């Protein structure tokens, strides 16, 4: 079965597996200890990984990288830390209407608890996010703007750099967070160019282990209290082998070309014509590996059950739902088209042959003959 759901997760590469395996054997010591060789090795491996990730996202200060269990923890941590920063005023937070649940749900929960005021900025009809709308949502009480760098379902890339710059021009004390889970490993990501205070990193999206990291350029409130690891911000004995693997995955990560995605969409349109709608296809830029399309008059679950490749109907964490994607609805896609939507996301080892095979399978599943 051909795998074409790389936005959902990616396999760990052999190189990353080798690094993890070596660390399991050689670096079993507690990195907080300094009395024996394995502990020193373990600490050195962790600091090497911290440097690898810092270099990858273009920061010269590795101490701004904090290891976490993944994106959900990192995103929740930013929200909870920022609202506790200072004064008795209820803070205001701005997010987009299509943030990942690990941003949207804690933000709404904190709103419902009376701990913050929340504004959710709507998208344009083509799935893009207008920086003017984000700026208009901000107030003197806005403490955090959290905008994903790229949407996991449509692939549309949001202009976080412009948003950060313009928000800071008017509200200098406002902090900026971006969940970069889907963008890393596909497009260049530089915290210097983005101008963000926080950036979420998720290992399993770029052929690494299922842990993560958080770039934080300003102080955070401790997530937990304990042994003082991660500068006292995220205590607990470090998972040295997985951290080593995360660093190696960052070292190996590059960017992707849209060639295979564009070839796939061109063939699909040629074969199916008006039966297919490329969702947010006019938006620029999109992630180079991601194609979200609707096969009109069908149900995506039925189509996917008849093809010899693995894809998704949207975000992996919502794939078992029968309701239309809220992301697509917020991106101007009609309900019937949203119900027939499929997301194909290519990997860095995908080929033009894979794209052609996927089109052939879709045509066959619909009972059509290839042109």
- What are the catalytic residues? 317
The single residue listed with the structure tokens 């190189």 is 15
Are the C-beta atoms of residues 345 and 296 closer than 8 Å to each other? Answer: no
CA dihedral 345, 128, 254, 239 (to 10 degrees): -80
Q: In what order do the strands lie in the sheet with 175-179?
A: 65-68, 212-216, 198-202, 175-179, 142-146, 92-96, 117-121
Buried (b) or exposed (e) across 215-254, using 16+ Cβ within 10 A?
Answer: bbeeebeebeeeeebbeebbbeebbbbbbbbbbbbbbbbe
The single residue listed with the structure tokens 């700026």 is 135
CA torsion through residues 152, 77, 10, 57, sign = positive
Give the residue among 161, 121, 155, 162 at the shortest CA–CA distance from 138: 121
196, burial (CB in 10 Å: exposed 0-12, middle 13-18, buried 19+): buried
């Amino acid at each position: 079965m051909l795998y074409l759901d790389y936005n959902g997760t990616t396999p760990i590469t052999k190189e990353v597996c080798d690094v993890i395996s070596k660390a399991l054997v050689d670096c079993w010591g507690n990195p907080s200890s300094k009395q024996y060789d394995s502990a020193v090795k373990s600490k050195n491996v962790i600091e090497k990984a911290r440097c690898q990730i810092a270099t990858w996202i273009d920061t010269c200060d590795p101490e701004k990288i904090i290891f976490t269990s993944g994106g959900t923890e990192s995103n929740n941590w930013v929200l909870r830390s920022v609202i506790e920063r200072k004064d008795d005023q209820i803070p205001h937070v701005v997010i987009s209407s299509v943030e990942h649940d690990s941003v949207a749900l804690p933000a709404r929960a904190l709103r419902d608890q009376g701990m913050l005021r929340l504004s959710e900025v709507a998208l344009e009809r083509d799935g893009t996010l207008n920086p003017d709308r984000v700026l208009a949502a901000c107030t003197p009480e806005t403490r955090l703007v959290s905008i994903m760098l790229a949407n996991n379902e449509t692939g549309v890339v949001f202009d976080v750099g412009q948003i950060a710059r313009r928000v800071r021009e008017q509200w200098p004390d406002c902090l900026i967070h971006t969940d970069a889970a889907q963008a890393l490993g596909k497009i260049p990501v530089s915290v210097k160019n983005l101008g963000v205070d926080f950036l979420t990193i998720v290992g399993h999206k770029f052929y690494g282990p299922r842990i993560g990291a958080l770039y934080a350029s300003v102080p955070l409130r401790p997530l937990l209290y304990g042994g003082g690891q991660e500068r006292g911000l995220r205590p607990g004995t470090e998972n040295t082998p997985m951290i080593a693997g995360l660093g190696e995955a960052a070292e190996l990560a590059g960017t992707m070309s849209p060639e295979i995605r564009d070839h796939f969409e061109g063939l699909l349109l040629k074969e199916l014509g008006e039966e297919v709608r490329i969702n947010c296809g006019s938006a620029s830029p999109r992630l180079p590996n991601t194609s979200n399309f609707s096969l009109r008059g069908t149900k995506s679950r039925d189509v996917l059950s008849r093809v010899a490749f693995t894809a998704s109907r949207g975000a992996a964490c919502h794939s078992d739902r029968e309701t239309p994607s809220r992301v697509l609805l917020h991106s101007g896609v009609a309900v019937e088209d949203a119900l027939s939507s499929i997301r194909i996301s290519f990997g860095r080892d995908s080929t033009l042959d894979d794209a052609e095979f996927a089109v052939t399978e879709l045509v066959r599943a619909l009972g059509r003959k290839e042109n």
